[in-house]
């Protein structure tokens, strides 16, 4: 149970973190700015993923589709609209896509939903590729890149937003409904929860932030085509990070995302394919030996200290 001291402590830690972040471009090298932007991107993707998949237990593998939608929306609009608007539009496009897909496929069993989300990345990529080849005639677009600092602050803003939304959802009646859905959809339904709508809306909200992140990051990449925008790796990484870190408390996905984005940063230039292979192996190891992630290990240790009773009452 969270005591007042705990809550106060987390809040202070967060404020400190934000204060540090805000100051980064002022006194850190541009390499650090870019690195932290990357870390924040993964933190946002993982937190977003956890907003929906953690409480409901529906594993979404579509993160790359929503991220990519944001990237693409940005590619199409960035030359004509200011950055914040582009980010919101990117997020909204992903929101809409997720709401549509969710409304249709969330009535089904979890496994069918997962299967469908797995293919969504390919589906969107294929469709866009065909569209670009046959209708617009350009495959690949050049983006006018934005200032690294602008990208950084945008990502900080998105991070704060997703954190706030995650926190508010957990404490609201909506969060209660999500929890109940994860435990027993039938009981939730009979308690008055509009299960399909709650799932679809939450799925869409999580997609919004993924799209926003994509719209922001595309400014860095200068050249976008459907293949680079829709990369299944962006579906894999948030899942890996959430599983490694855990999803119960808000700190867990953040920790997982930070660890792996730093690892990726260190390994990607020297061992391009090897690092993804290692990540795959880590995923296997975590699932096999640490199913509740790092957080599970930490919480177990905390409980052992509290010596919680297991007597039934």
Q: Which residues bind other proteins (CB under 8 A)?
A: 1, 57, 59, 61, 104-105, 107-112, 114-116, 118-119, 122-123, 126-127, 129-130, 133-134, 173, 176-177, 179-180, 183-184, 186-195, 232, 236, 239-240, 243, 273-274, 276-277, 279-284, 287-288, 291, 312-313
Of residues 53 and 154, the one with the C-beta less far from other proteins: 53
Number of Cβ atoms within 10 Å of the Cβ of 84: 14
Of residues 18 and 123, the one with the C-beta less far from other proteins: 123
Q: Which H or E element spans position 142?
A: strand 141-142
Of residues 18 and 276, the one with the C-beta less far from other proteins: 276
Q: Smallest distance, Å, CB 36 to other proteins? A: 25
Of residues 85 and 297, the one with the C-beta less far from other proteins: 297
Whether residue 108 contacts residue 101, with contact meaning beta carbons closer than 8 Å, is answered with no
Q: Smallest distance, Å, CB 48 to other proteins? A: 18
Question: How far, in Å, are 75, 144, 203 from residue 81 at the CA level?
Answer: 11, 11, 27
Q: How far is C-alpha 87 from the geometric centre of its chain's CA atoms?
A: 15
Q: Smallest distance, Å, CB 132 to other proteins? A: 10
Q: Which two tokens stand for residue 140?
A: 């690949």
Q: Which two tokens stand for residue 4?
A: 């007042």
Q: Where are the alpha helices (DSSP H) in the chain?
A: 4-27, 30-56, 63-77, 83-105, 110-131, 148-171, 173-183, 185-190, 195-221, 226-229, 233-245, 251-267, 272-289, 293-306
The DSSP secondary-structure symbol of 224 reads E
Question: How far, in Å, are 76, 80, 221 from residue 144 at the CA level?
Answer: 11, 10, 9
Of residues 8 and 130, the one with the C-beta less far from other proteins: 130
Which residues lie closer than 8 Å to 51 by C-beta, 6 or more apart?
162, 165, 166, 169, 202, 205, 206, 209
Of residues 133 and 164, the one with the C-beta less far from other proteins: 133
Of residues 32 and 223, the one with the C-beta less far from other proteins: 223
Q: Smallest distance, Å, CB 239 to other proteins? A: 7
Whether residue 217 contacts residue 75, with contact meaning beta carbons closer than 8 Å, is answered with no
Rounded to whole angstroms, how far apart are CA atoms 91 and 100? 14
Report CA torsion sign: 108, 45, 163, 223.
Answer: negative
Rounded to whole angstroms, how far apart are CA atoms 4 and 179? 23
Q: Smallest distance, Å, CB 151 to other proteins? A: 27
* Angle between helices 30-56 and 4-27 in degrees, nearest 10: 150
Q: Smallest distance, Å, CB 226 to other proteins? A: 11
Q: Smallest distance, Å, CB 281 to other proteins? A: 6
Of residues 101 and 156, the one with the C-beta less far from other proteins: 101
Of residues 30 and 191, the one with the C-beta less far from other proteins: 191
Q: Smallest distance, Å, CB 212 to other proteins? A: 25
Q: Smallest distance, Å, CB 299 to other proteins? A: 13
């Amino acid at each position: 149970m969270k005591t007042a001291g705990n809550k106060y402590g987390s809040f202070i830690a967060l404020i400190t973190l934000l204060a540090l972040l805000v100051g980064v471009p002022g006194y850190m090298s541009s390499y650090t700015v870019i690195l932290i932007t990357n870390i924040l991107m993964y933190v946002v993707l993982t937190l977003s993923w956890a907003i929906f998949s953690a409480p409901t237990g529906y594993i979404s593998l579509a993160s790359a589709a929503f991220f990519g939608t944001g990237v693409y929306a940005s590619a199409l609009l960035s030359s004509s609209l200011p950055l914040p608007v582009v980010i919101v539009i990117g997020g909204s496009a992903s929101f809409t896509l997720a709401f549509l897909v969710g409304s249709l496929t969330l009535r089904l069993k979890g496994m069918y939903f997962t299967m469908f989300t797995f293919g969504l990345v390919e589906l969107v990529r294929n469709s866009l590729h065909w569209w670009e080849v046959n209708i617009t005639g350009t495959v690949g677009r050049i983006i006018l890149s934005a200032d690294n600092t602008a990208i950084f602050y945008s990502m900080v803003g998105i991070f704060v937003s997703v954190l706030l939304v995650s926190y508010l959802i957990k404490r609201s009646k909506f969060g209660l409904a999500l929890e109940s859905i994860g435990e027993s959809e039938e009981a939730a339904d009979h308690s008055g929860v509009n299960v399909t709508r709650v799932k679809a809306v939450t799925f869409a909200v999580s997609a919004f932030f993924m799209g926003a992140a994509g719209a922001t990051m595309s400014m860095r990449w200068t050249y976008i085509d459907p293949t680079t925008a829709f990369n299944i790796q962006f579906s894999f990484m948030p899942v890996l990070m959430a599983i490694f870190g855990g999803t119960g408390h808000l700190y867990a996905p953040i920790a997982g995302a930070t660890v792996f984005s730093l690892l990726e940063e260190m390994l990607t230039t020297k061992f391009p394919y090897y690092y993804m292979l290692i990540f795959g192996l880590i995923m296997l190891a975590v699932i096999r030996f640490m199913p509740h992630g790092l957080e599970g290990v930490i919480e177990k240790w905390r409980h052992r200290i509290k010596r919680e009773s297991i007597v039934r009452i």
